[in-house]
A and B are shown apart, each in its own frame.
Chain A
Amino acid sequence: MTAVTPAAPISRIRLPGIAPLLVLASVAVMGGLVILPLITVFQSAFAKGLSTYLAALKDPDAQAAIRLTLIVAAIAVPLNAAFGIAAAWCVAKFEFRGKSALITLIDLPFSFSPVVSGLVWVLLFGAQGWFGDYLVEHDIKIIFALPGLVLATILVTLPFVARELIPLMQGQGSDEEAAALTLGASGFTTFWKITLPNIRWALLYGVLLCNARAMGEFGAVSVVSGHIRGQTTTLPLHVEVLYNDYDFVGAFAAASLLASLGLVTLLLKTALEWRHAGDLSAGRKR
């Protein structure tokens, strides 16, 4: 592992006059493609003043959407974090046959379209799906209710924590754990006192990305939501509902909350990258 400092490295290639041009071009690309949309969200949200903005967020349906989004993330993210730790432990600390197949399986959800990640649950638990008759008979709601939203979100965000932890733990090796075990520590103590502190920043990093995606997921939850106002509309779906209600200020107000979430995520992520660069997996350091 080579140490990387976040301070600006200066190019050895000196192309006089071209540097400002390249900087300008970069800023232009970022401006038109990335920064302008962000500005648009906040500008449209406040287009009719602060009081309209606040009223849009105080609307009971908006409040319900915020609550639902938090609940879905509060279930999906810890489950995926626990899975990520377990998967990283067995993949990074042990050698066994079929390991690369297992890693492929963990990565597989990345090649699912969000729509597919919703569709599969309809095929399983929809009234016309595999378990449809059983669920209808026993009055168990999965699709068009919280469980469906959670399952769709879990599938979309499944690889995030595992992907963050596996390369880090592979790089760290097992020497510290082996030493602790030789000295008589129990397996649990070793994990708690040695492994967890070693991976905590990467874990936080993975959880952060997982959470951002979980709260912002649109395509997958849109397929399994049923769009019941105040009941099964998460915040991104609420944005769509309001957009179709011609309530553009309301739509962008809800969108501004999600954009703020994105900005906070970026802030925390950048802070992690600067302060704990050495504790993140190689690709994350700058």
Chain B
Amino acid sequence: MTDQAIPRLDPTRGAAARPRLSAWREPSILPGFGLSLGVTLAYLGVIVVLPLTALAIRPWELGLAGVWHALIDPRVAAALKLSFGLSALAALLSAPLGLLIAWTLTRYAFPGRRILDALVDLPFALPTAVAGIALTAIYAPNGPLGAIAAKFGIKTAYSPLGIFIALVFIGLPFVVRSLQPVLQDLDNEVEEAAQTLGATAIQRAVFVILPGLLPALISGVSLAFARAVGEYGSVVFIAGNLPMKTEIAPLLIVIKLEQYDYAGAAAVGLAMVAISFGVLVVINAAQTWLAKRGRA
């Protein structure tokens, strides 16, 4: 990347040559900096910053204690725990499933491989409401897979398991797509070397391949997690929406709105944005650290 190649400009020298401007940007022959930055900032200002400000300010009309009270309310706490907990579990299950599918798609030739490959992105391209009613139809007690599960006494739709299935559905493509290019490029020589040294297939898989995949795997899992936490359309149909048990945080925001509790809805929304953003920052940092360690 270019930002490492170009040395940081000496501020004193820059100040003499180009007053003010170069203090915060490096000179370039290319035009359009002001235009593109102006458009970008104005657009982000209207579409992201202004609404985010409204979201950030609205809860505090309850006062600090009121916001705290709104968030530790058992029902809110349960919804947040459910959304973040199930999303984490779903993202974690997406890891082995995604690895399996990515491995199969990159390493083996079999009839229908390309179709399967293309279909991996379907959960991403399929509107969430469509996925919601379809998954509900399949996993409801009278649906094809729900009926089988019901025979074993397992409740799928209208239980946390149903939400979990929807979240795995949503998250899977992120993991597969993160892993595929890495698996594709994975250094075969390393594997071969390990093979000549007498490592078994399983040892090779665990000690040689997996560490190389780790940054991509973490990236895919964190994307799946971020998407799952906020997911609404595919979940509301299948969840059953039982307070404290299968009520996800985004639905609770809608319910709070329906009860005219704008500040409470904004408080839950703000908490969700803050937590998922925080998680992404931590995961990004972990990933950078891993990548650096891998290079060293």
Contacts and interface: CB of A to CB of B under 8 A. Distances in A.
Interface string A14-28: 010001001101110
Contacts of B172: 33-34
B21 to A, nearest CB: 10
Contacts of B280: 111
B123 A112 contact: no
B83 to A, nearest CB: 9
Contacts, number: 320
Interface in A192-222: 209, 212, 215-219, 222
B1 interface: yes
A133 B52 CA distance: 20
A266 B122 contact: yes
B33 A94 contact: yes
A240 B230 contact: no
A251 B136 CA distance: 13
Contact of B269 (A116, A155, A235): A116
Given A13-B205, A34-B120, A266-B121, A182 B276 contact: no
A4 B269 contact: no
Interface residues of A, number: 109
Interface string A86-113: 1101110111111100100110111111
B129 A218 contact: yes
Interface string B20-37: 000011101111110111
Interface stretch (A48-56, A58-66, A117-125, A134-142): A117-125
Nearest to A106: B44
B152 to A, nearest CB: 15
Interface string B128-139: 111111110110
Contacts of B109: 8, 10
B7 to A, nearest CB: 11
24 contacts: A13-B107, A22-B104, A23-B108, A25-B100, A93-B32, A94-B37, A96-B26, A96-B37, A106-B40, A115-B230, A116-B55, A119-B269, A151-B47, A154-B47, A170-B1, A216-B128, A217-B127, A236-B129, A255-B127, A259-B126, A259-B130, A261-B125, A266-B118, A283-B178
Interface of B: 1-3, 6, 24-26, 28-33, 35-37, 39-41, 43-44, 47-52, 54-55, 58, 97, 100-101, 103-110, 112-114, 116-135, 137-138, 144-145, 165, 168-169, 172, 177-178, 180-181, 184-185, 188, 191-192, 195, 201, 204-205, 226-227, 229-233, 237, 249-251, 253-254, 257, 262, 265-266, 269, 272-273, 276-277, 280
Interface of A: 2, 4, 8-13, 15, 19, 22-23, 25-27, 29-30, 32-38, 40-41, 44, 79, 82-83, 86-87, 89-91, 93-99, 102, 105-106, 108-116, 119-124, 128-130, 151, 154-155, 158, 170, 173-174, 177-178, 181-182, 187, 190-191, 209, 212, 215-219, 222-223, 235-237, 239-240, 243, 251-252, 255, 258-259, 261-263, 265-267, 269-270, 282-283, 285-286
